[in-house]
Homo-oligomer: A and B are copies of this chain.
Amino acid sequence: MLTSQPKLAIGIDIGGTTTKFGIVTLDGKIIEQDKISSTSHSNIHLFIDELYSKLFPLITKAGGIQQFAGIGVGAPNGNYYTGTIEYAPNLVWKGIIPLTDLLHQTFKISVKLTNDANAAAAGEMKYGKAKGIKHFIMITLGTGVGSGIVIDGKILLGHDGFAGELGHTIIRHGGRLHKGTGAFGSLEAYASANGVKQTALEFLAEDASNSSLLKNYNPEEINSEIVYECALQGDILAKKVFDFTGEILGEALANFVMFSSPEMIVLFGGLSKAADFILIPTKTSMEKNLLPIFRNKVQLVFSDLHESDAAILGASALVWEK
């Protein structure tokens, strides 16, 4: 009797707060999904137990485990080579977690793990703007600044699986302190959600005119969405926040382009909602800082995958990676 090739994959996105998972078809439709807390289990085994209790019924509903080609997982500090999560500062489980082994024992199916930004790049390559593109860089602009680098159609892992930590590259020598790492002037200190907020607060503090719409907000609640709304209403200081962020991000992107010469850079995450307010200064700065041979060659685009689905989609795409 002939059995058909499995056409489904499981995508699991382990975030600092929530773990989302879903069942994804080969053409990128999420047919089932659910989530559990990432923080409420005192150890990884209890986490896996709850995951199993929620996920197994979905697998059964979709026709049983034999319909599945595998599980893909995106997690902070997830290492593709070892299948372990190693010393993730934002997760409650400490040390080295042998995640793919644990999931394989539980679900009896092949499991691939990588970090969240690499999973996002895998999703972008299979289902997003980078479909068919062999050389691109994915930049995730969220709580942190993550990156997934694709070279010749493969996610760049480096000799130890940790390649692509572009958010931690230094772009302003002696610049703003990144509290999490102690580094001065890393990209993440400027282009993350917190970075944008800090820029807005610094600009407000220096603003002699005292006329910015951002003054109407409690400093604590200011975020890139609020800055965007103010910019939309013509607020000059709000626009300056994006100009400044874009100038720095663009300079960093120029450096990345001169490393791997990608055809495309895909931006994803909270900051990308600021649309042209962030895209235009970023592109202007990138082009300005490139050697002429690289100019006007790199497509700089926003991902068009839904933010809520992208993490599950990206994790599931690992299953189909060669």
| Interface of A toward B, CB cutoff 8 Å | 77, 86-87, 134-135, 149, 151-152, 154, 156-166, 168-173, 181, 183, 251, 254-256, 258-263, 289, 291, 293-294, 297
Are A170 and B135 in contact, CB atoms less than 8 angstroms apart?
no
Q: List, in ascending order, chain B residues with CB within 8 A of A254's CB.
A: 169-170
Contact across chains for B293 and A163 when beta carbons are under 8 A apart: no
CA A164 – CA B255 in complex, angstroms?
10
Q: Is the CB of A171 within 8 A of B169?
A: no
A260 engages B263 (CB within 8 Å): no
Q: How far is the CA of A162 from the CA of B164 in the complex (A)?
A: 20
A299 CB to nearest B CB, Å: 11
Task: List the 3 closest pairs (A to B, CB-CB), nearest first.
Answer: A158-B261, A163-B261, A135-B159
Closest to A133 in B: B159
B149 touches A291 (CB 8 A): no
Q: Chain A interface mostly helix, strand, loop or mixed?
A: loop
In the complex the two chains form, is A156's CB within 8 Å of B260's CB? yes
Contact for A259 among B149, B160, B251, CB less than 8 A: B149
* Residues of B with C-beta under 8 A to A172: 173
The answer to whether B259 touches A168 (Cβ under 8 A) is: no
Given the known inter-chain contacts A151-B151, A181-B291, A293-B87, please indicate yes or no for A258 contacting B159, CB distance below 8 A: no
A173 to B285, CA, bound (A): 12
CB of B164 within 8 A of CB of A259, answer yes
B87, A168: Cβ atoms closer than 8 Å: no
Give the residue of B134, B166, B291 whose beta carbon is less than 8 angstroms from that of A258: B166
Asked if B169 and A261 sit within 8 Å, CB to CB, the answer is: no
Residues of B within 8 A of A261 (CB): 157-164
Q: Taking A149-B260, A156-B260, A170-B255 as given, write out 5 further A-B residue pairs in contact, using a Cβ cutoff of 8 Å, ordered by the A residue number.
A: A160-B263, A165-B258, A168-B291, A170-B254, A259-B260
Q: Which residues of chain B are near A171, meaning CB under 8 Å?
A: 170, 173
Query: In the complex, are the beta carbons of A162 and B293 less than 8 A apart?
Result: yes
With both chains docked as a complex, state the minimum distance between the C-beta of A301 and any C-beta of chain B, in angstroms.
15
Complex-state Cα separation, A259 to B134, whole angstroms: 17
On whether the beta carbons of A156 and B151 are closer than 8 Å, the reply is yes
Determine the chain B residues whose CB is within 8 A of the CB of A156 once the complex forms. 151, 260
Decide if B87 touches A165 in the complex (CB within 8 Å): no
Asked whether A260 and B163 contact (CB < 8 A) given A86-B293, A135-B158, A255-B255, the answer is yes
Residue on B nearest A261 in the bound complex, by CB: B158
- 25 of the cross-chain contacts (CB-CB < 8 Å) are A87-B293, A134-B159, A135-B158, A151-B156, A158-B260, A158-B262, A159-B263, A160-B263, A161-B261, A162-B294, A164-B259, A165-B259, A165-B291, A165-B294, A166-B258, A168-B258, A169-B254, A169-B259, A170-B254, A170-B255, A172-B173, A173-B173, A256-B259, A259-B259, A259-B260
Chain B residues whose C-beta falls within 8 Å of the C-beta of A258 in the assembled complex: 164-166, 168-169
Give chain B residues whose Cβ lies under 8 Å from the Cβ of A169: 254-255, 258-259
Min distance, Cβ A70 to any Cβ of chain B, angstroms: 23
**Residues of B contacting A86 in the complex (Cβ-Cβ under 8 angstroms):** 293
